[in-house]
């Protein structure tokens, strides 16, 4: 697994904190930072406002500490309700794939810590207090790892170049139990070189499902990459990026990713006057310049093939993969209606 290096994290952090998003665009990492600063503000501002209202009615020397604690408790209760309500009071049968509760709880606890930092920081600005200094120091130490985890997670997601963000639990199109098993097996496998052939009618959710599957891997800090078929055909003729080529938005190429989505492989569409059928794809793959590198990558990458609405060619695509050295037991098929 390729870990995102510290220099790239610092580079991304510099872009997010100093760069102008008005012309550079809002990244997932920037959105996460803005979200957490917003949580701090929702802790800080109510604490200051409530203190200004209540101080004339109280002579307590610890009023700022008390109010900061109350504000933190309110947000703690609010966030816990947001987690508990959909689990125990809503119909969980509506999910094809259950939400990752560990991930949800960890995210909730991270948010609560930032609410608390804002509240207790406000208390510290109102009146310098040794206890508040200790509380703020402990909270800041507590959020170091969660901040690192979530910030790098957002980097893995945005480096995947997904056209949109979607969790697998959000994908709610009807599925039979066999299809769910196929998807779960692909998501949970720990080996390389598994292939999922996805067929389906127009607007059946092929692309959104594929993105959701790969996005779950990005959240696990696996390298993922989305590409359209048309772009992928060009990538088959490009060399692997060198260490000097690595930069934000280009930290890995398709040959060294863990999960690859090849979208819009539709046999009814012509490329340069010919149909993109299995034998056509083979000729593009097995080119004179990078044929060996392409073949090795296909054998060692987990790939989702979004093949369009015509599943009559499924055997041909499966035979193509087998001829490329992919064991049949590593090839799965999925038909969406």
Q: Which domains does the chain have, with CATH numbers?
A: 6-158 (no CATH), 162-336 (3.40.50.300)
- Give the per-residue pLDDT at 193: 93
Distance CA 227, CA 161 (A): 8
pLDDT of residue 77: 96
Task: Give the mean model confidence (pLDDT) for residues 164-189.
Answer: 90
State pLDDT tens for residues 117-138. Answer: 999 999 999 998 899 999 999 9
List phi, psi (to 5°) of 211: -65, -40
Q: What is the pLDDT of residues 32-79, one digit of tens each?
A: 999 999 999 999 999 999 999 999 888 888 999 999 999 999 999 999
pLDDT band at 300 (very low <50, low <70, confident <90, very high): very high
Query: What pTM, to 2 d.p., does this model score?
Result: 0.90
Pairing of strands 270-271, 274-275: antiparallel
In angstroms, the CA 164 to CA 212 distance is: 9
Angstrom distance (rounded) from CA 205 to CA 166: 12
SS3 state of residue 170: helix
- The answer, yes or no, to whether residue 141 has pLDDT greater than 90, is yes
The Cβ of residue 184 has, within 10 Å, a number of other Cβ atoms equal to 14
- Which residue in 277, 156, 174, 269 sits closest to 222, CA to CA? 156
pLDDT level of residue 112 (50, 70, 90 thresholds): very high
The angle that helices 144-159 and 28-54 make with each other, rounded to 10 degrees, is 140
DSSP 8-state code for residue 164 = S
pLDDT digits over 11-24, tens only? 999 888 887 665 66
Strand bridging mode 302-308 / 274-275: unpaired
Query: What's the whole-number average pLDDT of the chain?
Result: 88
Quickly state the pLDDT bin for 94 (edges 50, 70, 90).
low
CA–CA–CA angle 184, 190, 191 (5° rounding): 115
């Amino acid at each position: 697994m390729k870990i995102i290096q510290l220099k790239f994290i610092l580079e991304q952090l510099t872009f997010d904190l100093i760069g102008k998003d008005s012309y550079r665009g809002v990244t997932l990492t920037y959105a996460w930072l803005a979200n957490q600063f917003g949580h701090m503000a929702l802790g800080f501002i109510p604490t200051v406002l409530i203190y200004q209202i209540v101080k004339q009615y109280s002579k307590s020397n610890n009023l700022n500490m008390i109010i900061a604690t109350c504000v933190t408790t309110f947000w703690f209760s609010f966030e816990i309700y947001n987690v508990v309500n959909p689990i125990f009071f809503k119909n969980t049968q509506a999910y094809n794939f259950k939400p990752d509760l560990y991930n949800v709880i960890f995210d909730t606890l991270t948010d609560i810590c930032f609410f608390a930092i804002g509240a207790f920081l406000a208390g510290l600005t109102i009146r310098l207090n040794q206890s508040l200094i200790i509380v703020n120091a402990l909270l800041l130490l507590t959020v170091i790892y969660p901040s690192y985890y979530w910030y790098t997670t957002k980097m893995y997601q945005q480096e995947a170049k997904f056209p949109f963000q979607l969790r697998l639990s959000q994908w709610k199109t009807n599925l039979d139990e066999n299809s769910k098993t196929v998807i779960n097996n692909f998501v949970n496998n720990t080996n390389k070189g598994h292939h999922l052939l996805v067929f389906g009618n127009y607007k059946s959710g092929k692309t959104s499902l594929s993105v959701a599957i790969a996005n779950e891997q990005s959240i696990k800090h696996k390298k993922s990459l989305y590409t359209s078929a048309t772009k992928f055909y060009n990538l088959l003729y490009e060399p692997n990026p060198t260490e000097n080529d690595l930069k934000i938005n280009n930290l890995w190429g398709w040959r060294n990713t863990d999960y690859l989505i090849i979208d819009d492989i539709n046999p009814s569409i012509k490329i340069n006057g010919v149909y993109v059928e299995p034998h056509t794809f083979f000729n593009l793959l097995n080119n004179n310049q990078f044929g060996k590198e392409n073949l090795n990558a296909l054998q060692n990458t987990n790939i989702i093939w979004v093949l369009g609405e015509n599943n009559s060619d499924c055997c041909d695509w499966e035979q193509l993969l087998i001829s490329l050295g992919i064991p049949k037991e590593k090839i799965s098929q999925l038909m969406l209606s």
